[in-house]
């Protein structure tokens, strides 16, 4: 009897190791393709070259960025609905195909008329990116249900690092061969990352013996510090259908029990938390408070980013220091995308986001009043706050509305990014056009951060009224 028990334990441990390898490969390859979804943010480097070659105006060239961003959000919404419906592999394949083909085709369409370039670089690239992004980020959270903030943080960090690493590569390629060569080579790199991501993509639950991969929402297996393993498959209704545990031969039963207790919170949430569809979500006040928190919270960054370098120089700060601040700010952006949601897994998402909003308000106040290196520190802080919000909201959305439809649901929440992106230039033009300086724009950012804080507080009250959640 003891021998049979030992064999079962060894089999369970081997299955757990296999699952851990699969989810780690999926995360690594997924991060590689997600890295390239930050490519539109490098467009400002391409823009002068494309304008010179095609003869476009500033407005025509800028439209490429805005189209890709808008298409990205709709790709998240539609791709999220498709992959939440049960076919994430197909969504990833089609999204990657659109993404890479859009970049490759655009290399041959730098012509006096921007229409076809808009279709390829703007719509195809952006929509494909959205399909890829929603599939990878929602699947990653399902693999790491006990640490959804960490999982989404890794993915979003990869997106944030794109500008830091791809900007110098793009400059070099543009200087050597122009936009056609740069788009072709980067498009090929995107295609290779897409294929690698597809080959190693895996959905939790599909490898579970005796589990119906078509109906299982997920299986999680985590090995605690040399001991307990808890695996669980969750049915479509949210109730547990398979539960197992094991420990290394010779370890105590107390260790196994500790492993089970560690995931008690996860099981409670899986069984009891309501899984909102997008239609149900948008009929709640929670959705609008969440959307407005993201919108107002991001406006500070979009007000600062276009002028972060030139404003510092206008204060007499050396150009090298101003450039270094922007580069270090990019590092802070990427670091906060991982650090804050990982911390939120432990202490809660609302406290972490609240702290970020307070920091954003303080940084914008410093920018509006400082006349020296205080502005440099504030720029770095604003970049970090942007990363913290972008990293936290995927898991925050899942914790409120459930993980089953998180792909499409987060796509709707991301409308806040689009609104903030389009609103920020209009706010700047409105204030500066009426004789107010850029400092007034920054002080307006303080008001937006405070509004985000208020919306977050209202959201927290709504959460306390509703289902019992961790947050």
Residue range 12-40, pLDDT digits in tens: 777 677 777 887 888 888 888 999 998 88
Max mean pLDDT range (50-59, 106-115, 201-210): 106-115
Strands 218-223 and 229-234: antiparallel
What are the structural domains of the chain? 2-199 (1.20.1250.20), 218-264 (no CATH), 278-465 (1.20.1250.20)
Write down the mean pLDDT value for the chain: 82
Q: Band the pLDDT of 311: cuts 50, 70, 90.
A: confident
pLDDT tens digit sequence for 408-424: 999 999 999 989 988 98
Q: Band the pLDDT of 3: cuts 50, 70, 90.
A: low
178 has pLDDT over 60: yes
Between CA 153 and CA 343 the distance in angstroms is 10
135 has pLDDT over 60: yes
Q: What pLDDT does residue 258 have?
A: 40
Helix H segments across 56-214?
58-84, 88-106, 115-117, 125-143, 148-199
Q: Which residues contact 48 (CB under 8 A, 6 or more apart)?
A: none
Q: What pLDDT does residue 329 have?
A: 85
pLDDT tens digit sequence for 202-227: 887 654 333 333 333 433 333 333 33
246 has pLDDT over 50: no
The pTM for the full model equals: 0.74
Between CA 63 and CA 415 the distance in angstroms is 18
Q: Band the pLDDT of 357: cuts 50, 70, 90.
A: very high
Between CA 456 and CA 329 the distance in angstroms is 25
264 has pLDDT over 70: no
Long-range contacts of the stretch 275-281 (C-beta < 8 A, 24+): 275/238, 275/401, 275/402, 275/403, 275/404, 275/405, 276/401, 276/402, 276/405, 276/409, 277/405, 278/77, 278/81, 278/405, 278/408, 278/409, 278/412, 281/401, 281/405, 281/409, 281/412
Q: Band the pLDDT of 274: cuts 50, 70, 90.
A: confident
């Amino acid at each position: 009897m003891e021998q049979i028990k030992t064999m079962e334990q060894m089999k369970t441990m081997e299955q757990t190791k296999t699952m851990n390898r699969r989810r780690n490969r999926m995360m690594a390859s997924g991060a590689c393709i997600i890295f390239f979804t930050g490519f539109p943010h490098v467009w400002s480097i391409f823009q002068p070259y494309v304008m010179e070659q095609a003869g476009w105006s500033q407005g025509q060239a800028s439209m490429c960025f805005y189209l890709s961003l808008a298409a990205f959000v709709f790709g998240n919404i539609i791709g999220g609905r498709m992959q939440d419906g049960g076919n994430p592999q197909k969504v990833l394949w089609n999204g990657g195909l659109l993404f890479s083909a859009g970049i490759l085709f655009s290399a041959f369409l730098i012509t006096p008329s921007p229409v076809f370039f808009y279709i390829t670089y703007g719509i195809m690239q952006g929509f494909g990116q959205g399909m890829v992004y929603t599939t990878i980020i929602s699947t990653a959270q399902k693999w790491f249900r006990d640490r959804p903030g960490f999982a989404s943080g890794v993915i979003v960090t990869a997106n944030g690092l794109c500008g830091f690493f791809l900007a110098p590569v793009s400059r070099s390629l543009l200087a050597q061969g122009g936009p056609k060569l740069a788009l072709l080579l980067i498009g090929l790199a995107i295609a290779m990352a897409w294929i690698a991501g597809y080959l190693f993509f895996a959905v939790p639950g599909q490898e579970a013996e005796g589990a119906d991969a078509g109906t299982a929402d997920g299986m999680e297996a985590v090995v605690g510090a040399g001991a307990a393993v808890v695996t669980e498959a969750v049915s479509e209704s949210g109730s547990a259908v398979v539960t197992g545990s094991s420990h290394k031969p010779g370890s105590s039963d107390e260790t196994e029990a500790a492993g089970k207790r560690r995931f008690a919170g996860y099981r409670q949430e899986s069984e009891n938390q309501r899984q909102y569809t997008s239609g149900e979500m948008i009929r709640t006040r929670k959705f609008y408070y969440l959307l407005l928190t993201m919108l107002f919270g991001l406006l500070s960054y979009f007000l600062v980013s276009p002028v972060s370098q030139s404003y510092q120089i206008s204060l007499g700060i050396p150009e090298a220091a101003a450039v270094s601040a922007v580069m270090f700010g990019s590092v802070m952006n990427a670091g906060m995308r991982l650090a804050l949601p990982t911390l939120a897994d432990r202490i809660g998402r609302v406290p972490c986001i609240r702290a970020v909003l307070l920091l954003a308000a303080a940084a914008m106040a410093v920018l509006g009043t400082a006349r020296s290196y205080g502005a440099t520190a504030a720029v770095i802080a604003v970049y970090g706050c942007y990363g913290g919000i972008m990293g936290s909201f995927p898991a925050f959305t899942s914790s409120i509305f459930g993980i089953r439809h998180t792909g499409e649901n987060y796509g709707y929440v991301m409308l806040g990014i689009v609104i903030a992106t389009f609103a920020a230039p209009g706010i700047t033009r409105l204030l500066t056009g009426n004789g107010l300086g850029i400092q007034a724009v920054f002080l307006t950012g303080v008001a937006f951060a405070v509004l985000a804080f208020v919306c977050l507080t209202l959201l927290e009250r709504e959460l306390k009224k509703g289902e019992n959640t961790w947050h």
